[in-house]
Amino acid sequence: MSGPGSPASAPRRVRVRLHVDLGSPRRAGSALSALLPDNVQLPEGMEIEMRAERGGLVIEASHSVEGADTLAATLVEVLEHARLAGLVAPLGDEAPSP
């Protein structure tokens, strides 16, 4: 049986965890500082957490299953902002030197 609080009654969500290896805690901290202000106005129902961890940037995000396309577009935008800030290389390129 399902009741309030049971998995069957909880809204279905898509969860994504990315780890971008930046090669050093300093670069990870810089990336975090540069990207955090961008997460002020998220689409309704979306959650994003960022933290520096083991020389990289960890991005954990979730949204409703219905908002999966919005979640994917937002993560692409976050990574593009990191690339524009010179913190990560474009997809397929080598990582930038520290």
Write out pLDDT tens, residues 5-33. Answer: 555 666 799 999 999 888 889 988 888 88
3-state secondary structure of 5: coil
What pLDDT is recorded for position 49? 94
Residue 2 CA to residue 35 CA, distance in Å, equals 40
Helix (H) or strand (E) holding 48: strand 47-53
Task: Calculate mean pLDDT across residues 80-93.
Answer: 66
Task: Count CB atoms within 10 A of the CB of residue 28.
Answer: 22
Q: Which domains does the chain have, with CATH numbers?
A: 13-84 (3.30.310.50)
pLDDT in tens, 54-83: 989 999 999 999 999 999 999 998 888 877
Residues 30-57 pLDDT 10s? 888 888 876 668 888 899 999 999 989 9
Residue whose entry in the numeric block shows the structure tokens 């902002």:
81
